Amino acid sequence: MQENRIELIALLKVEFLLLLAAVGNLASILLYEPIKAAQFKEIFLGMNVTLPEATKYILEYSDLLGSWPIAWVIALAIPVTTGFFGVMILLKWGGAAYKAGTYPFARFQIVATGALFTMLLAVYGLSKLVSAALMLPMLKLVNAN
């Protein structure tokens, strides 16, 4: 039984890496970007420019995390829970497909890899949008001078 689980993990290493990358980007959006936004807040307030709506939302989220400590727990729980259930789903469904034979397992790998890659692209794109929303006011300030 233990050998089968180890073999399954070895066979699903690409899927686990895609899940790890997606969860890492999700954690970046929920935890790192608000910290970065809090550092830029004073600069933004002193710029005398109208901030884009996306930047305002990120600053409000950063304020929420700063004023409500349980929000940090919730923000941390989202990527941790996503990663945990992602691993459990890969092991359970991958194990069932592995036991069913080569063809069902190959089909599972194709579907899982495609779904995880799509998730990674979506979360990575969102991460870049959030980062750009924080940088846009700075670019306006630099270009105004």
pLDDT at 123: 97
Cα–Cα distance, 17 to 37 (Å, whole number): 28
Cα–Cα distance, 131 to 55 (Å, whole number): 9
pLDDT at 144: 64
pLDDT in tens, 55-86: 899 999 999 998 998 999 999 999 999 999 99
- Determine if the pTM surpasses 0.75: yes
DSSP string, 14-69: HHHHHHHHHHHHHHIIIIIHHHHHHHHHHHHHTS-SPPPHHHHHHHHHHHHHHH-H
pLDDT in tens, 14-66: 999 999 999 999 999 999 999 988 888 888 877 777 888 998 999 999 999 98
pLDDT at 44: 81
pLDDT in tens, 96-141: 999 999 999 999 999 999 999 999 999 999 999 999 998 888 887 7
Let me know: does 29 contact 126? Beta carbons within 8 Å.
Answer: yes
Total residue length of the chain: 145
The amino acid at residue 130 is V
pLDDT at 103: 95
pLDDT at 39: 87
